[in-house]
Amino acid sequence: QFHMIKYKDLKWEESLGQGSFTRIFKGSKTDVHDGEKHVTEVLLKELDVVHKNCWESFFEAASLMSQISHKHLLLVYGVSVHGVKNIMVQEFVKYGALDLYLKRGRSVSVSWKLDVAKQLASALNFLEEKNIVHGNICTKNLLLAREGDTSQGSSPFVKLSDPGVSVTMLGKDVILDRIPWVAPEVLEAPENLTMECDKWSFGATVWEIFNNGNAPLRGWDLKRKRQFYESFQQLPPSQWTELADLISQCMEYQSAFRPSCRSIIRQLNSLITSDYVILHATEPVTQ
Ligand SMILES: Nc1cnc(-c2cc(N)nc3[nH]ccc23)cn1
């Protein structure tokens, strides 16, 4: 179910950071068809050799993304195995991860943020229709393909990246550190990963987007993070009550009570970006 790419057709360029058990690099792949050589800019995601045992899960994540195609899902070209190296070859998305983009202090408008949330909701709805669980929705995995320019009225364009190594393969501490994105039921038993968990993560991700990429519960240690769930706490609500309501509906501790994707999309579409809201939708109170 995978396109195998020859190692010799890949070229590594600069390092772009790392994920859970992975390192990412900018690079290029060379294809030859009908006698013509094509060089494509790619993102090379290498699984750490020490975590070689996760390679099935690593490729499972990628194969999930390559079985289906949707405009807001990252394109995975294939995989390359070279000795102990396992490499996933993905499309290169120009502006990178949204958390870093927002942190770099780009001031973006409320309607820009709403656009991004709607695009993520449509990707989630598509995955739900295909009965596919992502398992790692967060702004780190939301890639910005087009900046959009509010003064020119052109809107941003985002793509949801692969979930990486499955949360079921990660240690307890790695899962704890994903609080508040990881749904509470997953903490109890990672096998509980369901579509409902993606909705919880969606809520935390929308909170991030409207909080300019500041991570919720930033700097909290694992003990405090665990207590956050044990005492059924919620993230600080946005002053924009309709937005805060949607986020808290998604971050409902009882998974069965979380809204359907259709309801999420309906609520996002009904969030009016009237002047009043834009002028007064100040950022959530920080904890
Ligand atoms: N599939 C992907 C994933 N990440 C990027 C990316 C682009 C960029 N300009 N800076 C970055 N810094 C870290 C990652 C990244 C691109 N494509």
73 close to ligand 1 (CB < 6 Angstrom)? no
* Cα–Cα dist 235/254, whole Å: 16
Is the CB of 17 inside a 6 Å radius of any atom of ligand 1?
yes
**Rounded Cα gap, residues 251 and 197, in angstroms:** 9
Decide if 175 contacts 190 (C-beta within 8 A): yes
3-state secondary structure of 173: helix
CA of 152 to the centre of ligand 1 (A): 25
Whether the CB of 158 sits within 6 Å of ligand 1: no
CA–centroid distance, 94 to ligand 1, in Å, is 7
Nearest to 226 by CA among 287, 168, 182: 182
Query: Which residue ranges of the chain lie beneath pLDDT 50?
Result: 287
For the segment 1-45, what is each residue's pLDDT rounded down to a tens digit?
A: 778 999 999 999 999 999 888 999 999 999 998 999 999 999 999
- The answer to whether 197 and 133 are in contact (CB under 8 A) is yes
Q: Helix, strand, coil % (nearest 5) of the chain?
A: 40, 20, 35
pLDDT of residue 275: 54
Residue from 13, 15, 16 to probe ligand 1 pocket by mutation (most atoms less than 8 Å from CB) = 16
Q: Is the CB of 92 under 6 A from ligand 1?
A: yes
How far does residue 265's CA lie from ligand 1's centre (Å)? Answer: 27
Q: Is 226 exposed, middle or buried (0-12, 13-18, 19+ CB in 10 A)?
A: middle
Residue 143: CB within 6 Å of ligand 1? Answer: yes
Q: How much is the pLDDT for 149?
A: 78
pLDDT of residue 287: 42
Distance 42 CA to ligand 1 centre (A): 9
User: Hunting for tokens 């190692």 — which residue is that?
Assistant: 7
pLDDT at 279: 57
Measured in Å, residue 78 CA sits from the centre of ligand 1 at 17
Q: Find the farthest-apart pair of alpha carbons in the chain and give their distance in angstroms, rounded.
A: 63
